[in-house]
Amino acid sequence: MVGEKRVLVAMSGGVDSSVTAALLLEEGYEVIGITLRLMGAEEKGSGRQGCCGLEAMEEVRRVAGELGIPYYILDFEEEFEQEVMEYFCREYACGRTPNPCIPCNQKLKFGKLLEKARGWGIDLIASGHYARVSYDEERGRYLLKRGVDGTKDQSYVLFNLTQEQLRHLLLPLGGLEKKKVRERAKELGLRVHNRPDSQDICFIPNGDYGSFLHRRMPEIIKPGPILDQKGKVLGRHKGIHLFTVGQRRGLGIAAGKPLYVISIDRDEGTIIVAGEEALYRSELIAAGMNWITREGLTGPLPVKAKIRYRHTPAEATLIPLKEGEVKVKFSSPQKAITPGQAVVFYQGEEVLGGGWIKD
């Protein structure tokens, strides 16, 4: 069979990737299931949870058998350590709040996996992400669009895919609602049809970031002061890595009103807190830009900008700065703009591109 009808499907053992494989089979593709082994049992805790744990691998094996497709495991543990886990630790150590799913998608799932596929003479890879890819002949570019199911749209975490990656990517679920995907899985007799969606970061299944960082970077534990906006000491903290902008809980401060983290100063090792009203900002600076619909930004551009995965896109204007950076000016102030998170730009259904919140 010609290479363009063969596809590697990244399978996690969940309903989305399982239905992705089934739909591509129905469309006449030769489907090969792939699970990425990303980390050892030490980082997985019990070794059985998460999208790449032993339980997931066993589930993928069963689904592959039900669908009658070959299934393989690729060991990407070293790459995951370098590209995702080290990035995660480094960002927290700098007082920023990372989103590890984004570099994992760009560098591993649609980077290293695509390299493997091409090396095997396979032109296409696929995943169960809720987003859409299309080609615009007039612009001569591949486009990334929102998923039809607005509650599950994952275009935000794919903003930094390149034209080359989009060219080889299939996203069969982008035009479906999650409810329909589960119904399809049940019709196919797949026992994963009612498996819950994964909520945690795969390498921290219990959500305890602090313990994870302490174990990997004991030197990060540096106590310091918690200050108000005037510099008054209100309390002490056990390390800036335990905080993120917008955080309210865990401050250990008794005050007459709720206090929130409004900024983190890595150099001074301080946490600045204030009332909720101080969390709102009208501008941000973004760096590390990736553009999908265009080569770059040459002048002011009206968009809708999303500052975190669960954020409702807000009206904004993009202004190009030196060295490829972009100023984002919002029409109305946004709450808890957080350094280290991605800001992604939309026009209608299309993802224009995005970058990383710097300041």
Can you give the CATH number for the domain in which 302 is found?
Answer: 2.40.30.10
- CATH of residue 157's domain is 3.40.50.620
Q: What are the tens digits of pLDDT across the range 262-314? A: 999 998 999 999 999 999 999 999 999 999 999 999 999 999 999 999 999 99
Considering the domain architecture, whether residues 130 and 16 belong to the same structural domain is answered as yes
pLDDT value at residue 40: 61
Q: How confident is the model at residue 54 (pLDDT cuts 50, 70, 90)?
A: low
Question: Which of the listed residues 208, 242, 274 is the one where a domain comes to its end?
Answer: 274
Considering the domain architecture, whether residues 12 and 112 belong to the same structural domain is answered as yes
Distance CA(349)–CA(275), nearest Å, equals 36
User: If you average pLDDT over every residue of the chain, what do you get?
Assistant: 91
Residue 200 lies in a domain: no
Q: How confident is the model at residue 53 (pLDDT cuts 50, 70, 90)?
A: low
Considering the domain architecture, whether residues 263 and 138 belong to the same structural domain is answered as no
pLDDT value at residue 4: 63
Q: How confident is the model at residue 59 (pLDDT cuts 50, 70, 90)?
A: confident
Residue 208 lies in a domain: no
Q: How confident is the model at residue 48 (pLDDT cuts 50, 70, 90)?
A: very low
Considering the domain architecture, whether residues 130 and 228 belong to the same structural domain is answered as no
Considering the domain architecture, whether residues 9 and 127 belong to the same structural domain is answered as yes
Q: What are the tens digits of pLDDT across the range 234-253? A: 999 999 999 999 999 888 88
Residue 95 lies in a domain: yes
Residue 203 lies in a domain: no
Q: What are the tens digits of pLDDT across the range 64-106? A: 999 999 999 999 999 999 999 999 999 998 889 999 999 999 9
C-alpha pair distances (Å), 112 with each of 26, 78, 109, 155, 289: 27, 12, 6, 20, 21
pLDDT value at residue 190: 87
Q: What are the tens digits of pLDDT across the range 132-153? A: 999 999 999 999 999 999 999 9
Considering the domain architecture, whether residues 102 and 240 belong to the same structural domain is answered as no
Residue 217 lies in a domain: no
Q: How confident is the model at residue 52 (pLDDT cuts 50, 70, 90)?
A: low
Q: Which residue has the higher pLDDT, 58 or 320?
A: 320
- CATH of residue 247's domain is 2.30.30.280
Considering the domain architecture, whether residues 46 and 131 belong to the same structural domain is answered as yes
Residue 209 lies in a domain: no
Question: Which of the listed residues 239, 274, 309 is the one where a domain comes to its end?
Answer: 274
Give the mean pLDDT of 160-183. Answer: 96
Catalytic (active site) residue 104: yes
Considering the domain architecture, whether residues 261 and 295 belong to the same structural domain is answered as no
Question: Which of the listed residues 274, 292, 316 is the one where a domain comes to its end?
Answer: 274
Considering the domain architecture, whether residues 118 and 231 belong to the same structural domain is answered as no
Which segments of the chain are extended strands (E)?
A: 6-10, 30-37, 71-75, 124-126, 131-136, 141-146, 169-170, 224-227, 233-237, 260-265, 270-274, 280-291, 301-306, 314-320, 326-335, 342-347, 350-357
Q: Which of 51, 52, 101, 202 is catalytic?
A: 202
pLDDT value at residue 1: 40
pLDDT value at residue 50: 52
C-alpha pair distances (Å), 34 with each of 117, 125, 280: 10, 10, 43
Residue-number span of the structural domain to which 252 is assigned: 222-274
Considering the domain architecture, whether residues 238 and 259 belong to the same structural domain is answered as yes
Residue 299 lies in a domain: yes
Rg, C-alpha atoms of the chain: 22
Q: By the 8 A CB rule, do 149 and 171 touch? A: no
Q: How confident is the model at residue 223 (pLDDT cuts 50, 70, 90)?
A: very high
pLDDT of residue 194 exceeding 80? no
Instruction: Give the angle subtended at the CA of 84 by the CAs of 213 and 31, to the nearest 5°.
Output: 135
Considering the domain architecture, whether residues 115 and 93 belong to the same structural domain is answered as yes
Total domains, the chain: 3
Proportion of the chain above pLDDT 90, given as a percent: 76
Q: Which of 51, 52, 89, 104 is catalytic?
A: 104
Distance CA(309)–CA(342), nearest Å, equals 8
Residue 268 lies in a domain: yes
Q: How confident is the model at residue 201 (pLDDT cuts 50, 70, 90)?
A: confident
Q: How confident is the model at residue 211 (pLDDT cuts 50, 70, 90)?
A: confident
Considering the domain architecture, whether residues 317 and 244 belong to the same structural domain is answered as no
pLDDT of residue 233 exceeding 50? yes
Q: What is the DSSP string of 116-150?
A: HHHHTT--EEE---SEEEEEETTTTEEEEEE-SST
Q: Put the strands of the sheet holding 6-10 in their side by side order.
A: 71-75, 30-37, 6-10, 124-126, 169-170
pLDDT value at residue 15: 93
